[in-house]
Amino acid sequence: MQRYFIEGKIPENRIVAITGDDAKHIAKVMRQTAGDYLIAVMEGEAHLSKIVTADFDVEVELGEKLETQVELPKKVTIACGLPKGDKLDLITQKATELGMYALLPFAAERSIVKWDSSKSGKKIGRLQKIAKEAAEQSHRTHIPEIHPVHSFKQLMVQAETYDTVIVAYEEEARDGNRTRFAEILKALYDKDSVLIVFGPEGGISDSEVAALKNFGAVFTSLGPRILRTETAPLYALAAISCEFE
C-alpha cells in the first residue's frame, strides 16, 4: 500500500490534507478516490488512512496506528566529503533505505567537487526529495534530514552534538593491527546518536585526521578492503543493522 508523509501535528478531528505532487500521484497515477485506503505518516507514526475527498488536494482520515518498528535503534548521521558526479544522489537513496537518520555533506580538503553556494539550496532540495521518495519506498516513518553543505570546521562544531563520532579511515584497512568495525559497534549499545565520517574519493587529509583524533573520534576500518566513497556508508549502515536489529 502506498505511503505518504504529511508534515505538522495530528489534528483533533484526524482529517489531514495531502497536497502538491503527492496529491497528484494519488489522484492521477494511483487513481484512488474517496473510500480508498493509503498509509499516512505523521509525527513519526504510520496510520492506515481512508481517503475522504480526492480533488485538487486529497483529504484523508487517519485511522489505526500501524505498530511496526522500521527505524534503526541508533540515530546514524552520515557525514560525506563531497564526492564527484551523482554519487551523493546514490548515497542519499540507498542510505535512506538502510536506515540513515540524516546526511551531512561537507567540503573536505580533498573534495574535487566545489558546490556553487548560489545553487546549493536547489541541490539540497533535490537530495531531500530523493530521501523522501526512498523513505516512502522502504516503508520508513522518518525522512532523513539533508543538512546544508558544511565546511570541515563547521563539521567539527556539529560533531559535539553526537554521543559518538566514528571515522571510516582507509589507512586502518592497511594496518595489520586495525580496529575492526564490529568491535566499535559493541561499544554503541548505550549510545543514541552516532556520526560517521567518510572522506571523498581522495580520502581524509592528514590535517583532518589530526583534528578528528584531537577531538576524540574513534577511527576504524571497514574490513581489509578499500571501499569506494559511495560504498563505505552503505557497508557501515548494513553492519549497524546486523548488530542492532
Question: DSSP assignment of 214-230, as one string?
Answer: HHTPEEE-SSSSPPPTT
Cβ-count burial of 211 within 10 angstroms (0-12 exposed, 13-18 middle, 19+ buried)? middle
C-alpha span between 44 and 65 (Å, rounded):
11
For the record, the C-alpha cell of 110 comes out as 580533498
Q: Helix, strand or coil for residue 243? A: helix
C-alpha span between 76 and 194 (Å, rounded):
5
Q: Is the pLDDT of residue 48 over 70?
A: yes
Q: What percent of the chain has pLDDT over 70?
A: 97
Instruction: Work out whether strand 37-42 and strand 45-54 pair parallel, antiparallel, or are unpaired.
Output: antiparallel
Q: Residue 82: how many CB atoms within 10 A of its CB?
A: 20
Cβ-count burial of 228 within 10 angstroms (0-12 exposed, 13-18 middle, 19+ buried)? exposed
pLDDT band (50, 70, 90) for residue 219: very high
Q: What is the pLDDT of residue 170?
A: 81
The answer to whether 49 and 38 have CB atoms below 8 angstroms apart is yes
pLDDT band (50, 70, 90) for residue 175: low
CA distances (Å), origin 192, targets 39, 72, 75, 147, 178: 28, 10, 6, 19, 25
Cβ-count burial of 192 within 10 angstroms (0-12 exposed, 13-18 middle, 19+ buried)? exposed
Residue-wise pLDDT for 63-116, tens only, equals: 999 988 899 999 999 999 999 999 999 999 999 999 999 999 999 999 998 887
Q: Which residues contact 107 (CB under 8 A, 6 or more apart)?
A: 81, 82, 114, 115, 149, 150, 151, 152
| This prediction's pTM | 0.91
